[in-house]
Chains A and B, each alone.
Chain A
């Protein structure tokens, strides 16, 4: 039973346009969410996070939106650049139990074309 799902295995976007990556979760106990980016032959690197007390967090070109009622979060990248081409993983945790264990989605491969 997968608690965190990224239903789009891949996404292709033109350079300069917006990339929107989506993530759904089922466990209402999750209260902290993260996005990681992974290039081939490298480990995942932390990108941005959001606590459930917020509905938006912004860091430069990256913005994460959280819709708790829909159990949905999304990562917006504006403007998209070719260097953003990577696999993006969302992860969720419950910061008040489960020892902060991260549950990951399957990943979405983003391709930004020049």
Chain B
């Protein structure tokens, strides 16, 4: 148990569906992240939130829409996805970054998404 919980663990959706992924952290962190991991590829950072404010959008298509209502919760809203969006989506949290400090991120177990 890492203190970061993601739901659902598995999701199958059609290209016209709308769904949401949820992430909750119980570590008292103030920074939260969404990553995408496709087969045989490195983890790709998608979004970063610090103190509920989005500080990074790594050129992610608008069909992925993040929401961070508070420092403990993070959502990823999905709509009109493509089959190539099928991947493992990982949420992570950390203490908010400060220069010179160690930035250790703690990950959830991920949501395995299949887009048909």
Chain A residues at the B interface, C-beta cutoff of 8 Å: 2, 4, 9, 32, 34, 36, 41-46, 49, 51, 89, 93, 95-96, 99-107
Contacts and interface: CB of A to CB of B under 8 A. Distances in A.
Interface of B: 2, 4, 6, 9, 40-43, 45, 48, 50, 55-56, 90, 92, 94, 97, 99-110
Contacts, number: 64
Contact of A95 (B45, B99, B106, B108): B99
Contacts of A103: 42
Contacts of B97: 99-100
A74 to B, nearest CB: 18
Contacts of B106: 46
B38 to A, nearest CB: 11
A77 to B, nearest CB: 20
Determine which residue in B4, B6, B56, B105 has the highest number of CB atoms from chain A within 10 A of its CB, and name it. B105
B90 A96 contact: no
Contact of B100 (A44, A45, A96): A96
